[in-house]
Amino acid sequence: MAEEKEPMFSPKNIKLLTNPINVDNPITKQVLGICSALAVTVKLEPAIVMSLSVLVVLSFGNVIISFMRNGIPSRIRIIVQLVVIAALVILVDQVLKAYAYNVSKQLSVFVGLIITNCIIMGRFEAFAMTNKPWPSFLDGLGNAFGYAWILVAVAFFRELFGTGSLMGLQIIPDSFYEIGYVNNGLVLLPPMALFAVATIIWVQRSRNKDLVED
Amino acid sequence: MQELVNIFVKSIFVDNMVFAYFLGMCSYLAVSKTVKTSVGLGAAVIFVLIITVPVDYLMVKYLLAPGALVWLGPEYASVDLSFLSFIMFIAIIASMVQLVEMIVEKFSPTLYASLGIFLPLIAVNCAILGGSLFMQQREYQSIWEATSFGLGSGIGWFLAIVAIAAIREKIRYSNVPAPLRGLGITFVITGLMGIAFMTFMGIKL
């Protein structure tokens, strides 16, 4: 009996891509990858670069692990996964240093910390170890997008209200400042990232009651 | 000596791993449901940080930094292996965690029983790798400074996780809005604690 070939974008595969963006979001539902999510969101630009880096590492890492999944002895799989991640992260880091040196300086240790970003380990363990390369790739993309939109949303608000600009361009017109508008310095402080994510969680869970914990 | 104490106090309060850099958030959120387990995890983090930060310091100094291989001979003075530091650090952390686990199991079965499941988890705790990366970035002058930084960061992380666990144990009795329960409220509390910790900013001994 010939195995039925699944189309590239079957409904199941589409779900892999879209689920993590909302209901199964890596940050607000699976609680993965919080560390870096909060620390790089003061400005929009590093947040976008960070999201792209995670996107690259997660989707390619998922594919690589998925290709190797039958050859990895389960006792040493953590080490194998770490080596794959570390190699990819070194590549990303070198590319950033070469082409976006300023952003790479701003991200400082957080590029390196993608290695221990639990999103990546979590998806390797939960998905790539048991699935074929193509669905793994989609799963990686979906989760990276789920991670990215939270980062970008938080960074958007923090940069807009904290400095009055986006991507370094001034958005709030000078006339606002003349009539007494003041940038909110509190938004730039680390704790505000936590409040922003908490608000996203709050909104998301009140719209979708299934996500509520008790 | 004063410099050492300064680094130590600074890394506990001012540059607290959790409140200032959000490192180790994943385990911080996942394992902070009861005080007892969080004490275990916190202790394990201190333990591993004291070992890995100095070891990684020696790694950087004698292997990875530009010109570090000069002890092999003058012709190696231009070798710069610092791009390998991520993979080196993570390998050292993973093997150190394994080693620590074996030693603790052999010599202190009670400690092993209480740390047990947390030790392997630590290999992928960003606070540990973060400790080594910050150590490399801040260019500490001696192995003692690196050790004092490792110890301080570990204690800072320990304080944070024990405090949040204690609050979470109590908050079970309060009436939190349903969508915020669990993760949401923990974020808010952490934010408030972070603001409290910011009052330490600028402390210098």
CB A106 within 8 A of CB B127: no
> pLDDT value at position A3?
47
Mutate to test the interface with A, among B52, B180, B183, B197 (most CBs of A within 10 A): B183
> pLDDT value at position A2?
43
3-state secondary structure of A170: strand
> pLDDT value at position B103?
81
What is the per-residue burial (b if ≥16 Cβ within 10 Å, else e) of A12-31? ebeebbebbbeebbbbbbbb
> pLDDT value at position B166?
93
> pLDDT value at position A1?
38
Does residue A32 belong to the interface with chain B, where contact is any CB pair within 8 Å?
A: yes
Mean pLDDT in residue range A189-211: 83
- What's the average pLDDT block by block, 10 residues per block, for chain B (205 residues)? 86 86 81 82 86 90 80 78 82 83 80 70 79 86 90 93 91 84 86 87 71
Q: Are the Cβ atoms of A32 and B26 closer than 8 angstroms?
A: yes
Does residue A116 belong to the interface with chain B, where contact is any CB pair within 8 Å?
A: yes
Q: Are the Cβ atoms of B124 and A191 closer than 8 angstroms?
A: no
Phi-psi region of A33 (alpha: psi -120 to 50; beta: other; left: phi over 0): left
> pLDDT value at position B105?
81
Q: Are the Cβ atoms of B180 and A202 closer than 8 angstroms?
A: yes
Does residue B171 belong to the interface with chain A, where contact is any CB pair within 8 Å?
A: no
Does residue A190 belong to the interface with chain B, where contact is any CB pair within 8 Å?
A: yes
**Backbone CA torsion sign across A191, A195, A200, A204:** positive
Does residue B29 belong to the interface with chain A, where contact is any CB pair within 8 Å?
A: yes
Q: Are the Cβ atoms of A195 and B126 closer than 8 angstroms?
A: no
Mutate to test the interface with A, among B15, B17, B18, B25 (most CBs of A within 10 A): B25
Q: What share of chain A is helix, strand, coil (3-state, %, to 5)?
A: 70, 0, 25
Q: Quick one: closest CA in B to A33, which residue?
A: B26
pTM: 0.83
CB-CB neighbors (< 8 A) of A47 in chain B: none
Q: Quick one: closest CA in A to B88, which residue?
A: A86
Question: Is A112 a residue whose pLDDT tops 50?
Answer: yes
Q: How many CB atoms lie within 10 A of CB B95?
A: 14
Size of interface A-B (CB pairs under 8 A): 140
- A127-138 pLDDT, tens digit each: 888 888 888 888
Mean pLDDT score of chain A: 81
Percent residues over pLDDT 70 in chain A? 94
Closest Cα in chain B, distance from residue A198 (Å): 5
User: Which band of pLDDT confidence, cut at 50, 70 and 90, is reported for residue A207?
Assistant: confident
3-state secondary structure of A166: strand
DSSP, res B25: H
- A23-58 pLDDT, tens digit each: 777 777 777 777 777 778 888 888 888 888 889 999
> pLDDT value at position B116?
62
Closest Cα in chain B, distance from residue A7 (Å): 36
CB-CB neighbors (< 8 A) of A93 in chain B: 83, 86
Output the six-digit token pair for B163: 């405090």
Does residue B124 belong to the interface with chain A, where contact is any CB pair within 8 Å?
A: yes
Measured at the CA of B157, the angle between CA B152 and CA B161, to 5 degrees, comes to 150
> pLDDT value at position B11?
87
Does residue A138 belong to the interface with chain B, where contact is any CB pair within 8 Å?
A: no
CB B48 within 8 A of CB B27: no
Q: For tokens 């910390």, what's the residue?
A: A113
Q: Are the Cβ atoms of B126 and A93 closer than 8 angstroms?
A: no
Phi-psi region of A14 (alpha: psi -120 to 50; beta: other; left: phi over 0): alpha
Rounded to the nearest 5°, which phi and psi values hold at A169?
-95, 135
Residues 6+ apart with CB under 8 A from B62: B68, B69, B71
List the single residue in B124, B133, B180 with the smallest CB-CB distance to A118.
Answer: B124
Does residue A194 belong to the interface with chain B, where contact is any CB pair within 8 Å?
A: yes
User: Which band of pLDDT confidence, cut at 50, 70 and 90, is reported for residue A186?
Assistant: confident
**CA nearest neighbour of B129 among B166, B164, B91, B103:** B91
Span between the terminal Cα atoms of chain B, in Å: 11
What is the 3-state secondary structure of A96-125?
HHHHCHHHHHHHHHHCHHHCCCHHHHHHHH
Residues 72-111 of B with CB under 8 A from A: 83-87, 89-91, 94
- A62-103 pLDDT, tens digit each: 999 888 888 888 777 777 888 888 889 889 888 888 888 888
- B73-101 pLDDT, tens digit each: 777 777 778 788 888 888 888 888 888 78
Mean pLDDT in residue range A144-160: 88
Closest Cα in chain A, distance from residue B193 (Å): 8
> pLDDT value at position A4?
52
**CA nearest neighbour of A79 among B100, B119, B121, B90:** B90
List the single residue in A28, A116, A191 with the smallest CB-CB distance to B124.
Answer: A116
User: Which band of pLDDT confidence, cut at 50, 70 and 90, is reported for residue A5?
Assistant: low
Output the six-digit token pair for A32: 């993965």
Q: Quick one: closest CA in B to A205, which residue?
A: B179
